[in-house]
Structure 1
Amino acid sequence: MRPQQRVSLPLTELLSEIVTLVPGEPGPDDHGGEISARGVSMSAAEVEPGDLFLGVPGARFHGAAFADQARERGAVAILTDAAGAALVREKNVDLPLLVSAENPRSFAGKLAGRVYGTADLHALTLGITGTNGKTSTAHFLDAIMRQLGLITGLSSTAERRIGDQAVISHLTTPEAPEVHALLGTMIEAGVDAAIIEVSAHALTRHRIDGVHFDVVGFTNLSHDHLDDYGTMDNYLAAKQELFTPEYARRAVVCLDTPAGLAVRDGARIPVTTIGTTGVLAPGIVADWMVTIENENPRFTEFRVDHPALGALRTRIPLIGAHMASNAGLAIAMLAEAGLSLATIGSALAADGQINAQLPGRLVRVSGESGPTVFVDSGHTPDAIEKSLHAVRQVTAGKVIMIAGADGDRDASKRGDMGAAAADGSDLLIITDHHSRKENPGEIRAALIAGARTRVTADRILEVPNPEKAIRAAVERAGATDTILWCGLASQDYRDVDGVERPFDVAEEARQALREHGYGA
């Protein structure tokens, strides 16, 4: 998404006070005339005519290696580092070349903000970080404000949306040029509020540079991305960057996990806290409290209390105390932004519900007959544990879990994922998800090894083919049982050996139910 109305900025003006060029290299005015840009892109495949192409080093390739593709798509110039410049010159790409003394990623946000005019964004701007719960919190914020009649812009793991116009998302937080292009489009659309999920990578890779939030929220921290950060301390430190004046004005921090205390204590902006009754560790006191009042297979009712601001009872069309905690965080963030509980309460539907639709988050795909089936996007040990707990609370019979793990991603969490899946289920079916370039058998073996630390082999079933895995689950489930399939619910494909193949978990589950005579 990019704004329709854009102005072309001379590169001299665009780069001024932002970019330091390598001494002795040509400047913007040394290429036979003034060059102007009306867009910025870090992906050659997404360059539009008039763009300044930023060639940045990546995990596998240097972006400058694709400078010829950027030129063919209409780039007016390339800005890259010394290594990238060597690649461009080696290929003899006929494109004005500017060589930065720094990695262009470090200033991409500032350049994009200048091109797309995002300094003019006056909407309420909200950001959410944490390992799990970012997407649900973002969608709860979005739902409440839409129920108030406001126009919202949303950037989440599941989708990018402005008003009713949506596109599928592939990154939790897109690269800085995309973030600012999205914000520029929001300005053009006249949104009242902008909601952005902020990943750890977004902070360490400068994806939200140039964005300033009115209120940010922290959900939790658990095992993930250690292939990038090495230790949990490093991972936490990346998240903590959001809680500084550079990025935000105020914060609401959930204390349900120990990391919440570290975020609260290390924040350099004012912090309000929230916790969940029965989850908060003994002796820990939070400003806001979330208390679960009723759970059933269709919804969760809860109360949010603040000693000075009062209480609000509401419900969400989802199961799980963790989902209620995320909804409570959304309510507290809006209160910190200046909305009263009375105003928030007035946004709720006639039945007092927050009408959030969360793609891939504990979505029920079964009908009224036969076993209950939920699909979920959880892919960390903590997410699996919480989803299984939520399912167990509303299940009279046994719980059957289908689990897989992603290839070419943090392998260190697979054993813990298998253990969590086995702990919370009566039968665990291990299958394949995104194997990517890894051997899928080795991925399954790591999950099974973790599961075997908790249960005996007779409670584990290995079914490599996911289409067969869901059918094996339905065959073994009775009318009072629940099947939970975690890992792929927010995506419409499987990446096998580097090839993305269409795959819809929800539809596959519905088809399996229909084949066994159940409505879905």
Structure 2
Amino acid sequence: MSALTLSLQELLEGIQNKSFTFSGITHNSRKVQDNFIFVALRGKKTDGHRYIEDAIKRGASLVVTEEPVQSFVPCVIVPNTRRILPKLSDVVYDKAAEKLFVIGITGSNGKTTIAHMLDSIYQHSAISSGLIGTVYNRIGNEIVPSSLTTPESCDLHRMFKQMIDCGSTVAVIEVSAQGFAMNRVDCVPFRVAIFTNITADHLDFHRSMKNYIATKYRFFETLPPFCWRIINIDDVHGRHLCSLNPAMSLTTSSKNPQADVFASNPFWTGERLRFNVLYSSRMRQLISASLPDVIELPIPGEHNVNNAVSVLAAALLTNIPGEIIVQGLRNYSTPARRMEFFERQGVQIVDDTAMNPGSIHSVLKTFDMNHCGKVIIVFAIRGNRSVEVNRQNGQVLAEWCEENQLRRSIHVVVTTSEEVVGENDKVSFAEKVAFLHELQLRNIPFVFRPFLQESIEYAWSQANDGDLMFLLGAQGMDLGRNIIEDIVCWQSKGLHRLSPL
């Protein structure tokens, strides 16, 4: 039996004029509650149309599909449900995004760091804000687990509504190229968009660098006219993006003093990264808040200087006083596995989710090899990210080792973390071969272990007081620190873990 079929326009108008009311909207039948709209999306692995009956049993009072279905509840048939989901989510959640000052951050590297730097500043200010990103989401004072860098639009707009209900006025969100391509940020009226950089990544989804770059460009081409673009012009792609809307573009740099916000004379004090800030006359005319002249960060790295000047520009656009920005950045707490440092038994350890050529290069070049013993690099190959990305990852690591092996003894341990990664992150044989082949081409010695546990145990057995160890990689290295902590705990008790046969 088929129930009433509505047009999309009738549904949208009915929700907006309150003729229809719904308690929520979702694409996941398991999340359906009473009086929800269920939108059937076609995915790579499954088809939401298969779960319409389940959604109705769970309480869906309307379904949106791409094909006629037998249904006891009203149905809306559209050509593309994915494109419709953000439009419906926006109106179901009372156009909450329009009531927020939304800051979007995109780029291959730096999104999470910038988001958390901004979050630190807002938490030091009188402005109530929310955070949506890779590590976690923050709604008011509640920390909510995150499964996607950029959530599906129904979840995104629901969180916007929750932020409004908590009294927030600013939302900081990470925008992945895949999230944009999948319409997740449609109907989000960004007030500020930050561009960091582009390096090879996500080629499993985009299929080529050309497509990946074009997707990043399209995000900026579709921004509303009132949106400020904060562009890192140290990246060649940033210089192109500035040309799309020069009047609404603010440039940042650690190399070009002509930028609107320029970081000069960065140096590491031994405890903090300090740099001076110079502003263009345009920036000084635009911003009424006090402009800080010196910034300090608790983490090193040239890439973090670039991250910080982007943060500085965005915070100033929300009228945060300079002294609050200085406090927020000085007291910034590094999110998990973003240039995290810890020391165990005299070994200095850097834990970072370096997972593409740009981030690997940025992390490794940050450290002075003249002030340590051996260098031990444990690298988890990234699964399901394409052969080409892994080839370039191996190339960057091999080139760095080649440049530095005369100055320091370098030990490389490579793993595919087979016992800890999920199905979506399994490393293919071709990806592994592509990565290892780059090391072999440059005669870089390495040890390969398929399991994360044994790769960390082997690396730790080679480490001595004064050595420097890197734990690098994405999901495959997430448990690396935990394994080291376990080893140290056992050793402190005079015990030795038995490796499986």
TM-score normalised per structure 2:
0.85
How far did 1:18 drift?
A: 5.3
Match of 1:345 among 323, 333, 336: 323
Match of 1:391 among 359, 367, 372: 367
Task: Report how many residues are paired.
Answer: 466
Contact kept, 8 Å, 2:133 with 2:146, in 1: the verdict is: yes
Bigger shift: residues 295-304 or 412-421: 295-304
The match for 2:53 is 68
Residues in 1 aligned to 2:468 and 2:483: alpha-carbon distance in whole angstroms? 16
Contact kept, 8 Å, 1:365 with 1:510, in 2: the verdict is: no
| Cα distance, 1:177–1:292 mapped onto 2, change above 3 Å | farther
User: Helix, strand or coil for the counterpart of 1:243?
Assistant: helix
| Cα distance, 1:417–1:301 mapped onto 2, change above 3 Å | same
| Cα distance, 1:203–1:249 mapped onto 2, change above 3 Å | same
Identity of aligned residues (%): 24
Q: Which runs of 5+ in 1 are unaligned?
A: 1-9, 20-26, 29-33, 495-502
Residues in 2 aligned to 1:480 and 1:462: alpha-carbon distance in whole angstroms? 24
User: Helix, strand or coil for the counterpart of 1:167?
Assistant: strand
Match of 1:424 among 373, 389, 400: 400
The one-letter code matched in structure 1 to 2:423 is R
The match for 2:236 is 258
The one-letter code matched in structure 2 to 1:461 is V
Higher helix share: 2
Note the 1:205-244 alignment, pairs <5 A.
205-244=182-221
Note the 1:151-300 alignment, pairs <5 A.
151-244=128-221, 246-247=223-224, 249-267=227-245, 270-277=248-255, 285-291=258-264, 293-295=266-268, 298-300=271-273
User: Helix, strand or coil for the counterpart of 2:157?
Assistant: helix
Residues in 2 aligned to 1:36 and 1:345: alpha-carbon distance in whole angstroms? 45
Match of 1:306 among 250, 255, 279: 279
Residues in 2 aligned to 1:72 and 1:393: alpha-carbon distance in whole angstroms? 62
How far did 1:513 drift?
A: 3.8
Residues in 1 aligned to 2:358 and 2:295: alpha-carbon distance in whole angstroms? 25
Contact kept, 8 Å, 1:420 with 1:451, in 2: the verdict is: no
Residues in 2 aligned to 1:56 and 1:229: alpha-carbon distance in whole angstroms? 20
The match for 2:32 is 47
Residues in 2 aligned to 1:40 and 1:109: alpha-carbon distance in whole angstroms? 10
The match for 1:449 is 437
Note the 1:108-187 alignment, pairs <5 A.
108-119=85-96, 121-187=98-164
User: Helix, strand or coil for the counterpart of 1:305?
Assistant: strand
In the alignment, is residue 374 of structure 1 matched against residue 350 of structure 2?
yes
User: Helix, strand or coil for the counterpart of 1:365?
Assistant: strand
The match for 2:449 is 463
- Superposed CA offset, 1:273-320 (max 9, x none): 11113xx6xxx8422212353326754222222133365212222221
Question: Root-mean-square deviation (CA), in Å?
Answer: 3.0
TM-score normalised per structure 1:
0.82
The one-letter code matched in structure 2 to 1:505 is G
How far did 1:38 drift?
A: 2.0
In the alignment, is residue 77 of structure 1 matched against residue 77 of structure 2?
no
The match for 1:408 is 384
| Cα distance, 1:441–1:183 mapped onto 2, change above 3 Å | same
| Cα distance, 1:45–1:297 mapped onto 2, change above 3 Å | farther
Contact kept, 8 Å, 1:400 with 1:477, in 2: the verdict is: yes
- Superposed CA offset, 1:70-118 (max 9, x none): 1232211211112xx4xx55xxx65543321x21111211111111113
| Cα distance, 1:391–1:47 mapped onto 2, change above 3 Å | farther
In the alignment, is residue 436 of structure 1 matched against residue 413 of structure 2?
no
The one-letter code matched in structure 1 to 2:58 is R
User: Helix, strand or coil for the counterpart of 1:161?
Assistant: strand
How far did 1:382 drift?
A: 1.0
Contact kept, 8 Å, 2:259 with 2:279, in 1: the verdict is: no
- Superposed CA offset, 1:167-224 (max 9, x none): 1211110011111001000110011311011111222211111111111110000001
